[in-house]
Amino acid sequence: MKILKKILGIAMIGVLAANVLAGCGKKEETKKITIGVCAGPYGEMVKQAISPILEKKGYKVKITEFSDYILPDKALANGEIDANLMQHTVYLEKFASDNKLDIDKIVTVPTAGAGIFSNSRKSLAELKDGDKVAIPNDPSNLARALGILAKENVITLKKGIDDTKASENDIASNPKKLEFETLDAAQISRNLDSVAIGVIPGNYAYAANLDFGDALALETLAEGYKNVIAVKSEDVDSQLGKDLKAAVESEEFYKTIIKDGSKFKNFQKPKWWIEKYGK
Q: Pick 31-111+223-277's CATH classification: 3.30.750.24, 3.90.1580.10, 3.40.190.10, 2.60.40.10.
A: 3.40.190.10
Digit-coded pLDDT (tens) for 166-220: 999 999 999 999 999 999 999 999 999 999 999 999 999 999 999 999 999 999 9
Q: Which helix (H) or strand (E) holds 13?
A: helix 2-26
In the predicted structure, residue 23 carries a pLDDT above the cut 60:
no
> Which pLDDT value is given to residue 29?
63
- 236-241 long-range contacts, Cβ below 8 Å, gap at least 24? 236/104, 236/106, 240/33, 240/82, 240/83, 241/106
Digit-coded pLDDT (tens) for 29-80: 679 999 999 989 999 999 999 999 999 999 999 999 999 889 999 999 999 9
CATH class, 115-218 region: alpha beta
The domains of the chain are located at: 31-111+223-277, 115-218
In the predicted structure, residue 12 carries a pLDDT above the cut 80:
no
> Which pLDDT value is given to residue 152?
97
Candidates 220, 228, 268, 264; CA nearest to 248 is: 228
User: Same topology for domains 31-111+223-277 and 115-218, yes or no?
Assistant: yes
Q: Are 170 and 158 in contact (CB under 8 A)?
A: yes
> Which pLDDT value is given to residue 188?
97
In the predicted structure, residue 250 carries a pLDDT above the cut 60:
yes
Q: Mean pLDDT, to the nearest integer, of 235-246?
A: 97
